[in-house]
Amino acid sequence: MAHPDADLVAACRQGDRRAFDALLERHRGWVLNLAYQMLGAADEAQDAAQEVLVRVFTRLGGFRGEATFATWLRRITVNECINRLGRRGREGELPPELASARSSPDEGVAVRAAIQSLSPPLRAALVLRELHGASYREIAHILRVPVGTVRSRLAAAREKLRELLSEEA
Amino acid sequence: MTDSHCEHMRELLSALLDEEPTFVCAGERRGEGGMAGALDPLSVSPLKGGEVNLSGDERRAADGHLAECAACRRWFEGTKAACQRLKLHPVIEAHPGFDAAVMARVTAGPLTRVADALDNWICTPARQIAAATAGALVLSGLLLWGAAWVVIATSPPRADAAARHLSLEGRGGVRVHPDDLPPILRGDAISGPDLLGRPLAVTPPRPLDLWPEFLRRRVQPQRPEEQ
């Protein structure tokens, strides 16, 4: 039977290497893909995910259990990605390989380009909801905004996404 | 139906999209039986999670609007399709050395982590400017402090220090040398009547070489033979 995250976190704090491996194994994949969906570039996503996991495992003492471990991890991941997007300079700047990809015949690439066209706050809300199944309340907690703001951001993000994908179609 | 009303309703319709997959209606999964507008909101119940993003009034308004407005029905269906296409986003796998790299960094010493964190923190131009400004301020503060220390340590005693020295006379702070006492002159307030009746045995003051001539003459007493 799989241990809940809280048990693994407690064991990890005691220095249990197996708990560390189990947590890493359980969360590595989605952290990496959340970073990829936010950043749009696979190499940068690998760096960001590594940074997030290192930060999380070195600061497990700072996890107070107010939210679930996964929510805490999502919040750190989204913050790391938003910081990285800020470092790129202009908001919403596309990675070079996506700059002309909206009309790509590969639907995956077109979807990726459409997501990257959204501003980071809209992108975060949409990705968390549509690709990670986060509830409005959880998104509000992750992005530190009221639930009403999540609702309006999601509406705006979907509107823009619909326009982009219908243009491309 | 006005555009502004539709704009307002689309936020509710977007929230309705999020409630849709988690509800059943009259024993069948919602969405299979046609448009959402055909559903009685009171007959639906949450299946999992119990997340309700619309109040009862909002839900009724959204369902009612969807039933009436063909443009918003198209918007609703188009948006739902676009959101479903998001699932086509490519998925990546961690590179082979990923876990080992994470482990190595987690077990690295705190200094390495601090250096990494600093390196990570300082990447934005604004933070670089802030760090450079703070560094320049600290450096100039240190230089000023050092320069002030050198000036104070090497400068000669100041005139106000001598004045402060004199002000301590008579308070036990400084012993006054007899040569520094002023001579008592005729007409001085401290000279008593008995003193005035006989010639004063006045010690001539030390020559004040540094004083201007006119001051020296004024200060020096007249000698008895000159009178």
Higher pLDDT, A160 or B47: A160
> Which positions in chain A touch B19 (Cβ < 8 Å)?
none
pTM score, whole prediction: 0.63
The C-alpha of B72 sits at a distance from chain A's nearest C-alpha, in angstroms, of 12
| Count of domains forming chain B | 2
Can you tell me the mean pLDDT for A119-124?
94
Which residue, of B50, B68, B88, is where some domain finishes? B88
Cα B86 to Cα A14: distance, rounded to the nearest angstrom: 40
Report the residue from B10, B87, B105 with minimal CB separation from A159: B10
CATH number 3.40.720.10 given to A1-89? no
A42·B92 Cβ contact <8 A: yes
Q: What CATH code would you report for A95-169?
A: 1.10.10.10
Judged by CB atoms closer than 8 Å, whether chains meet at A33 and B91 is answered as yes
Residue of B nearest to A107 (CA): B88
Interface test with B, best of A30, A31, A53, A163 (most B CBs within 10 A): A53
Q: How far is A163 from chain B (nearest CA, A)?
A: 9
Residue B31 lies in a domain: yes
Task: Find chain A residues with C-beta within 8 A of B10's C-beta.
Answer: 155, 159
pLDDT of residue A89: 65
Q: How many angstroms separate the CA of residue A72 from the nearest CA in chain B?
A: 18
Question: Given this model, what pLDDT does residue B142 score?
Answer: 94
| pLDDT band, very low/low/confident/very high, at A31 (cuts 50, 70, 90) | very high
Domain assignment present for B116: no
Pairwise CB contact (< 8 Å): B88 & A111: yes
Instruction: Give the domain ranges of chain A.
Output: 1-89, 95-169
When pLDDT is averaged across residues A13-26 and rounded to a whole number, the result is 87
- Helix%, strand%, coil% for chain A, nearest 5: 75, 0, 25
pLDDT score for A67: 85
pLDDT bracket for residue A146 (50, 70, 90) = very high
Record: contact A151-B49, CB cut-off 8 A: no
**CA gap A127, B83 in Å, rounded:** 10
Q: What is the pLDDT of residue A168?
A: 59
Percent of chain A with pLDDT over 70: 86
B12 is a domain residue: yes
Is B147 within the bounds of a domain? no
Contacts of B17 in chain A (CB under 8 A): 158
Q: Do A129 and B18 touch (CB under 8 A)?
A: yes
Range of the domain at B69: 3-88
What value does the mean pLDDT take over residues A38-48?
92
Low-confidence ranges of chain B (pLDDT < 70): 1-2, 20-51, 109-117, 120-124, 157-176, 178, 186-227
The counts of H helices and E strands in chain B are 9, 3
